[in-house]
Amino acid sequence: MKYSIFSKSIIFFSLITALVSCKQTIKSEADSHEDYPEDGRPSVTELIKEMDANTDHKLSKSEVHGPLADDFSKIDTNDDGFLSQEELENAPKPERGKSRKVDNSNNVQTDFEVTVNVNPSLFIKERMLQEIKQEERTLADGTVALCYIITTASQPHEHKMGPWCPTHINDSKDKGGIWFKDDKVYDVDGHFIANLKDFYSDEEWALFREDGSIKVTETQDECEAAARPDVDEKYHNYCVQCLPDYYKEKVSTYVIPVKPMYLESPNSLGGNGIGIAFNGVNFDAAAPTHAILAAHTLAPLDDAGGHVNPHSGYHYHAVTGATKEVAQTDEHAPMLGYALDGFGIYAHKDSNGKAITDLDDCNGHYDTIRGYHYHAGDAGSNKILGCLHGISGSLTVEN
């Protein structure tokens, strides 16, 4: 009982005075609602009732504990040695000048010593549909932030797109793209398609006809029927490819905070992009291999790690070193682009060919040159990033 009174008094007190110190981590307004729900908050009357051992309807110094005791003389404005209801109600209000609106998911923002702003000059100019501009935007979680607005056709500059599906089981690897399983990358050549039964230990695979030709989606309608999550029965056991030409009118607009804001708890990746390469192509979340394989289809990536879907056009699920890289002055891995939260994305391996080993679940870590940043997962991992550790901007794709 004593413990519960004590803890309630602390809760109450932290509401009326700014005793919660905010040095590195800053709690948000929304956050504090989470901690002190309207209903569970003791009123001054309740507080007095609970702490008032001698029931004289006021609190003496011997009846209070913790912060109320520490600041007793400040609250006791008439210096009578008791805290009255009126004095408690008039106690100084909390100063929340440092707090920033973060989001309503009880997330705490952390300021690192080094935070690197997005550098718009790294993007390949020829691939931007408009000049990159700065605008204040309200992000999905309600945060208002200065953002870069980047408009692209999500088409690469440095490499060609495709091929994806070979057309005959005798085709060599230059006729097809790549596929992945258990962190390994495989060339999708004719032999690979012919051997899918063994590869997946599943007798139902049959992507080729008796004459050795491979069943490949040939038109926009076919690709759209085969690429949806509930694959049209007709296209079970097909190699699915949508061509960039079908969707070349699409416009991708990225909104990315100029200064990334790191959150203690990462956000899971949405369905709509996780970042942008310097060529304006979308780094996407994991390919939905479960749905793809359940229908005995393949949706190969090209050698650059990209393929096309009806929703977002050309996008990457793997980083294979085909896009613009920005070398670092130290041995650190080169930079590849930005995540939607504004933190940089770097290659999987450093300049000595070593993979980075101290990454968090999002594939991120911190250093004093780049601040917090990500390293793309290995090409076979189907995981360019695991999650976003900053407040996310957005990607919208319009026709």
Span of 27-35, 60-68, 282-290, 390-398 interacting with Zn ion by CB under 5 A: 282-290
Query: Closest distance between Zn ion and the C-beta of residue 250, in Å?
Result: 14
Contact by Cβ (8 Å): 99, 29:
yes
Using CA atoms, how far apart are residues 65 and 219, in angstroms rounded to an integer?
75
Span of 70-78, 97-105, 195-203, 284-292 interacting with Zn ion by CB under 5 A: 284-292
In the complex with Zn ion, the residue whose CB is nearer, 139 or 339, is: 339
Using CA atoms, how far apart are residues 162 and 160, in angstroms rounded to an integer?
7
Burial environment of residue 277 by CB neighbours within 10 A (0 to 12, 13 to 18, 19 or more): buried
Pattern 163-192, Zn ion, x by CB under 5 A:
------------------------------
Using CA atoms, how far apart are residues 336 and 343, in angstroms rounded to an integer?
11
In the complex with Zn ion, the residue whose CB is nearer, 206 or 369, is: 369
Query: Closest distance between Zn ion and the C-beta of residue 345, in Å?
Result: 10
Q: How far is CA 144 from the centre of its chain?
A: 18
7: DSSP letter: H
- Which tokens go with 77? 């404005």
Query: Closest distance between Zn ion and the C-beta of residue 343, in Å?
Result: 11
Which residue from 277, 284, 339, 257 is spatially nearest to 127, judged by alpha carbons?
A: 277
In the complex with Zn ion, the residue whose CB is nearer, 138 or 351, is: 351
Phi, psi (5° rounding) for residue 244? -55, -30
In the complex with Zn ion, the residue whose CB is nearer, 94 or 270, is: 270
Query: Closest distance between Zn ion and the C-beta of residue 281, in Å?
Result: 12
Using CA atoms, how far apart are residues 213 and 237, in angstroms rounded to an integer?
13
Which residues make Cβ contacts (< 8 Å) with residue 119, sequence separation at least 6? none
Q: What is the size of the binding site for Zn ion (CB under 5 A)? A: 2
In the complex with Zn ion, the residue whose CB is nearer, 44 or 153, is: 153
**Residue 266 neighbours by CB distance under 10 Å:** 19
The amino acid sitting at 201 is S
Span of 109-117, 263-271, 274-282, 283-291 interacting with Zn ion by CB under 5 A: 283-291
Query: Closest distance between Zn ion and the C-beta of residue 335, in Å?
Result: 10
291-320: contacts with Zn ion (CB under 5 A): 309
Span of 98-106, 140-148, 252-260, 281-289 interacting with Zn ion by CB under 5 A: 281-289
In the complex with Zn ion, the residue whose CB is nearer, 153 or 287, is: 287
In the complex with Zn ion, the residue whose CB is nearer, 59 or 227, is: 227
Interaction site with Zn ion (CB under 5 A): 287, 309
